[in-house]
Amino acid sequence: MTGPSYTKNPAAREITAAYNIPMDRRRLYLLLHPDSPDRAPRLFRVAHHVLIAVGIAAMLADTVPFVAAEYDPVLRAGYYLVSAFFVAEYALRLIAAPEMPGHEHGGASRARLLWAVSLGGILDLLCAMPAIAALARLPETSLFGFVWAFKYVRYSPGLASLGRVVRNAQQALLSVLLGFAIVLLTAASIAYLFERHANPDAFGSIPAALWWAIVTMTTTGYGDVVPHTMAGRILAGVVMTSGILVFALWAGILATGYAEEMKRREFLRTWELVAKVPFFRDIGASLIAEVARLLRPRDFPAGAAIMRRGQAGDCMYFIIDGEAEVQLPSQRVYLGPGQFFGEVALLTGAPRNATVIAAQACTLLSLDIADFHQLLGRHPELARIIHEKAEQRPGDMVAQPLSEPALAIDKSA
């Protein structure tokens, strides 16, 4: 439960000796960590997410008069329960803060202070504020519950990725924002010149014309303010077109940045998976980066057919986690992490001559046939390594020729 990073860290062991309870604190940190895979953290995350939904539902229902009148005690109880939970969570995260990476050397008090003033700590404090407001008997305290929706951000890798995208592209985004502001001010100023006499109520000043410019440039088109002169209408068309171009630029910058971020995340995940496969340790560091860009992670539930006998061979697979059952005509062979299969059809061009089923839930890396042959063309030694590893088959498979299916790495080699 404590994890290797804790037990191998000398600073963490010093903290253990100083506090006498750090193992409990470490367990608490892992319980609260959004990526902890153990059962207790998963149950905590389920309870956490359910209580957020309950709290927000109670806040929304409290604004409906007939629901609030009928179920006021239930809504209050739910609101107070959720509020108390987030106060307790804030206190627990404050206690566990010294276990966060990078906080091992500064002392527990400093670690807690750094966490409290961090973005995550401030957000957790805001989410604890509804309980404080309720204790202070402030009016309309239930309306503070909307801040609980932000608790989901910590558990959403996509939103974290979007934050990195915005940070990485901030110069380009700010440039477009500056252009937007310039066009907005220019449009409001020209509209004031064209329309101030024809429509003084809406365009009697540049600040008043800014509302029209914002609505028009964002192509919202409320229709509450419209130009009356021909010149003003021509200007409106130009402003609308400019707004489309500005938002297209914003969308293009964010879409490009998000695609690059997703590609980076996928590459990092693939790299971590590739590092678990013994086969890739033999191909040399120069090939690992190239191969990692070509491999695609795939997950199969238990009992799913990964490939079937007679199908055309379009890719080969490397097993990262789980177990695959190779159904040969005369036997069943089970392959585990570090082994690979499906390469014979790629080497020979023959159809699959075995069916492979996921005996357990599997995480595999697939290498497409086109990428496979490109790799062999650029690196002939890779084909030799595949042949050598394929011939190191366990049990009865050793006597079979290389054209037999489901060739596996012999881990004893």
Neighbours of 269 (CB within 10 A): 12
Model pLDDT, residue 190? 92
Same domain, 131 and 12: yes
Q: Is 309 within a domain?
A: yes
Check which CATH number belongs to the domain holding 378 and give it: 2.60.120.10
Check which CATH number belongs to the domain holding 230 and give it: 1.10.287.70
| Rounded CA separation 270/264 (Å) | 10
| Rounded CA separation 195/204 (Å) | 8
Residue partners of 280: CB distance under 8 A and separation at least 6: 274, 287, 288, 291
**β partners of residue 296:** 366
Same domain, 150 and 8: yes
Same domain, 350 and 223: no
Q: Supply 276's token pair.
A: 């678990």
Single residue among 155, 187, 207 that ends a domain in this structure: 155
Q: Is 165 within a domain?
A: no
Single residue among 237, 263, 289 that ends a domain in this structure: 263
pLDDT tens digit sequence for 117-172: 888 888 888 888 877 777 766 666 667 778 888 888 888 776 767 777 888 888 88
Q: Is 213 within a domain?
A: yes
| Rounded CA separation 351/314 (Å) | 9
- 8 Å CB contact between 216 and 240: yes
Q: Is 161 within a domain?
A: no
Sign of CA dihedral 277, 280, 281, 286: negative
Q: Is 412 within a domain?
A: no
| Rounded CA separation 211/400 (Å) | 79
Same domain, 184 and 124: no
Model pLDDT, residue 57? 87
| Rounded CA separation 238/134 (Å) | 52
Same domain, 122 and 16: yes
- CA of 51: how far to CAs of 22, 85, 200, 347, in Å? 28, 8, 53, 54
What is the reported pTM? 0.54
Strand segments, DSSP code E, in 253-373 are 296-300, 305-307, 315-321, 324-327, 332-335, 340-341, 355-358, 362-368
Model pLDDT, residue 331? 79
Same domain, 362 and 295: yes
Same domain, 179 and 315: no
pLDDT tens digit sequence for 298-326: 888 888 888 888 888 888 888 888 888 88
Same domain, 73 and 177: no
DSSP SS3 for 41: helix
- 8 Å CB contact between 92 and 32: yes
| Rounded CA separation 106/94 (Å) | 15
Neighbours of 378 (CB within 10 A): 10
Same domain, 215 and 106: no
Model pLDDT, residue 202? 82
Domain that holds residue 356: 280-399
Q: Is 197 within a domain?
A: yes
Model pLDDT, residue 352? 82
Q: Is 274 within a domain?
A: no
Same domain, 50 and 119: yes
pLDDT tens sequence for the chain (413 residues): 344 443 444 444 443 444 344 558 888 888 888 877 788 888 988 988 998 888 888 888 888 888 888 888 888 888 888 888 888 888 888 888 888 776 666 677 888 888 888 888 888 888 888 777 777 666 666 677 788 888 888 887 767 677 778 888 888 888 888 988 998 999 999 999 888 888 888 888 888 888 888 988 887 877 778 888 898 889 988 988 888 888 888 888 888 888 887 777 777 777 666 666 666 665 666 666 777 777 788 888 888 888 888 888 888 888 888 888 888 777 788 888 877 788 777 777 778 878 899 988 888 888 888 887 777 777 776 666 666 666 655 444 433 333 333 333 333 33
Q: Supply 365's token pair.
A: 């890396």
Q: Is 182 within a domain?
A: yes
**Phi-psi category of 303—alpha, beta or left, where left has phi over 0 and alpha has psi -120 to 50?**
left
Overall number of domains in the chain: 3
Same domain, 126 and 246: no
Q: State which amino acid sits at residue 125.
A: L
- CA of 103: how far to CAs of 29, 79, 90, 97, 239, in Å? 13, 34, 18, 8, 52
Same domain, 215 and 108: no
| Rounded CA separation 393/344 (Å) | 13
Single residue among 126, 155, 184 that ends a domain in this structure: 155
